[in-house]
Structure 1
């Protein structure tokens, strides 16, 4: 049997009755868009994360774009972020009309190196966009200290950090606004696309509600230019049910990570490091080795399919060359991209499958010397 880095079918079988009941209730309600399920999920997810308001949108990328706009970020403004992230982080900045400026990562945690933030601030800088990567949080005390000093907005990218904590505070609660994705692979994912912006600012909430609905406050009259970017009732209903399981999902991910830590302790791989003051949610279990490509090829020969997040730093991509990035600008980011890969990680990963992954990995590593 093949083993994949992620799978949802076992989880679906366990939760199928609950999911179908939620979908049926929506279909029989007569309300398919911006109805009671969206409102309830917004309220409950915001409460879970420790913010006042949630605004559901159609996907995680648009949650970033609209949040930037709601924070007043636009044409010519600079946003400081990292290059070791998914393309949507940076495409959202550009889609908002802003300019991405990159800082390097901490080579142990792969998170934003907050020591580089102050030097990256210019007179055009308007926002810092830290990415809570792989399931753990950036040092938000350090981010907010720089933001406060220079009068900058802070937008947390929490697409990979549902349930993660920094100093006891949930990801998404430590900034002017935060962005979540509910893409199927996420710690809290639906069976399609979805996203949300969290904030405790009434003005950001009000702006977001207009932006996601054509700039309207009520039907047919646009107060400003807006978008069609709404979380639909069916996905909200599914997510409401899954939210009740979120802590269990995170707990199981931690169990799997702990087992990897134990089984691979002397394997020669560089294993994940939990950042200081973090409660890691383990969206991904990211390991590292200079012979990464050879290892992945051998795993594939054994029907084990892993992943790289991310093989190409964004500042080196053709699509973002106009912002002046080049190879050599971010040495820790660039080296990591050549060596990191993610092992299977999802709550229903079978113990025997995890053990097989580790057994095969250790055999490959032993042969490589």
Structure 2
């Protein structure tokens, strides 16, 4: 069986360093917002090219706290509209709802799956913020959305949960907006051994509010300035992330190498391969293809012992939890979600496994 993602193999490379980090943390016994967190925050901010980083419990909280932070600063207010791509993971939409804001779902670009710049500009008139989701690890059209945000006076926010290390001529994911949210869920390109998240920003005011919000609204123990949450990056996970951050660029390069081999080797008109311009703007968190009869194709992969995943089978506006938004007319989003399927992708895939996937797909 060719695994979709071999987490054991990925993480076993760091076993000795993880064990050393654990032993040091056990000896220090400073488990909440300790040195491991502050060290990682400094390292990740420097890596992304921002002044600040704030660790959070997970990626959903990171995005929610950004929005809550802007409300606290008076830059957003409850009931404001936020532009969100309709084909994103549900967490992007949930963050807007948790902040008591209104998501406005829009169609993606059919090639990149990122939010389309050709969307009707009239939707921006009443909106107050726009969330760029760098879906599957590929940067969206940053320059265009920076201009749109400026023209319509919108807060520009990145959901960079799948794009650690992706870069363009304007900078890296995390530095391309006013604030960005990351997830360190174990399957991410930079994944912890449990949940974790972070916000990167150059906004010193937002930084201070985020530090309060993640820690019960407290800047000093038992002294609470605002109504906050308990959403702190675990100190042990921060230590593990510092270890893995050192090889993130190399791992991303390995993922791009796998993707290039797929793109060069798969030659089957029944399959629509992902768009890729060959640059570092894509870190291939997922290698997503389209096929007409997904059930038939997934059964074919099963018979050939190739693991697969669907990112994501049901679009947010068709989820039972979000039936309030079922009125959105998103035919392209719905079509994409019926056709997409993700192939094995990781920085530790063996060459023979890559070739097997190519050979099998060419016989479909």
TM-score by length of 2: 0.95
**Aligned partner of 1:95 among 83, 92, 98:** 98
Q: Which of 124, 127, 131 matches 1:121?
A: 124
Decide whether the 8 Å contact of 2:45 with 2:200 is kept in 1.
Answer: yes
Quote the residue 1:351 is aligned against.
Answer: 351
Q: Paired residue for 1:179?
A: 181
Match of 2:337 in 1: 337
Once residues 316 and 150 of structure 2 are traced to their aligned partners in structure 1, the CA distance between those partners, rounded to angstroms, is: 27
Structure 2 distance, partners of 1:277, 1:100, is 31
Cα offset, 1:25, TM superposition: 1.1
Q: Which moved more, 1:103-112 or 1:165-174?
A: 165-174
Query: Which of 227, 230, 240 is matched with 1:228 structurally?
Result: 230
| CA distance in 1: counterparts of 2:278 and 2:352, whole angstroms | 31
- Distance in 1 (CA, whole Å) between partners of 2:247 and 2:360 is 32
Aligned partner of 1:137 in structure 2 is 139
Aligned 8 A contact 2:14 2:243 in 1: no
Question: 1:7 matched to which residue of 2?
Answer: 6
- In structure 2, C-alpha distance between the alignment counterparts of 1:45 and 1:184, rounded to whole Å: 17
Residue 315 of structure 1: which of 308, 317, 327 is its match? Answer: 317
CA 275–67 in structure 1, closer or farther in 2 if over 3 Å, else same:
farther
Where in structure 1 are there 5+ consecutive unaligned residues? none
Residue 228 of structure 1 aligns to a residue whose secondary structure is coil
Runs of 4+ residues deviating >6 angstroms: none
TM-score of the superposed pair, with normalisation by structure 1 = 0.94
Alignment of structure 1 residues 42-61 onto 2, 5 Å: 42-61=41-60
1:87 deviates by 1.1
The residue number in structure 1 matching 2:114 is: 111
| Secondary structure of the structure 2 residue equivalent to 1:134 | helix
Deviation at 1:266, TM superposition (A): 4.2
Distance 2:283 2:333 in 1: 22
Structure 1 residue 228 displacement after superposition = 0.3
Matched, 1:86 2:96: no
Question: 2: CA distance between counterparts of 1:268 and 1:206?
Answer: 52
Q: Which residue of 1 aligns with 2:155?
A: 153
In 2: Cα distance, 1:225 partner to 1:250 partner: 39
What are the superposed Cα offsets for residues 5-59 of structure 1, whole Å, 9 maximum, x if unpaired?
Answer: 2121112222111111111111111211101111111011011111100000000
- Separation in structure 2 between the aligned mates of residue 100 and residue 353 of structure 1, nearest angstrom: 41
1:67 paired with 2:70, answer: no
Query: Quick one: distance in 2 between partners of 1:171 and 1:157?
Result: 9
Alpha carbons 1:60, 1:180 under 8 Å: kept:
yes
* Partners of 1:103 and 1:120 within 8 A in 2: no
2:169 paired with 1:164 = no
Secondary structure of the equivalent of 1:115?
Answer: coil
Note the C-alpha offset of 1:290: 1.0
1:292–1:179 CA distance, 2 compared to 1 (3 A)? same
Separation in structure 1 between the aligned mates of residue 49 and residue 120 of structure 2, nearest angstrom: 26
Cα distance in 2 for partners of 1:6, 1:131 equals 22
* 8 Å Cα contact 1:68-1:74 kept in structure 2: no
Q: Does 1:16 align with 2:19?
A: no
1:270 alignment counterpart: 272
Q: Aligned equivalents of 1:301 and 1:64: distance in 2? A: 40
Whether the 8 Å contact between 1:191 and 1:235 is mirrored in structure 2 is yes
Is the 8 Å Cα contact of residues 107 and 332 (structure 2) preserved in structure 1?
Answer: yes
Q: Please state whether the residue corresponding to 1:129 is helix, strand or coil.
A: strand
In the TM superposition, 1:276-287 aligns within 5 A as: 279-287=281-289
Deviates more, 1:317-326 or 1:343-352: 317-326
Contact 2:293/2:339 (<8 A) preserved: yes
State how far apart, in whole Å, the 2-side matches of 1:112 and 1:340 are: 16
Structure 2: segments with no counterpart, 5+ residues: none
CA contact (8 A) 1:117 1:146 kept: no
Distance (whole Å) between structure 2 residues aligned to residue 44 and residue 325 of structure 1: 44
Say what the alpha-carbon RMSD is for the aligned residues: 1.5
C-alpha distance in 2, partners of 1:27/1:74? Answer: 43
Q: Which moved more, 1:181-190 or 1:6-15?
A: 6-15
Q: What displacement does 1:357 show?
A: 1.9
Does residue 76 (structure 1) correspond to residue 75 (structure 2)? The answer is no
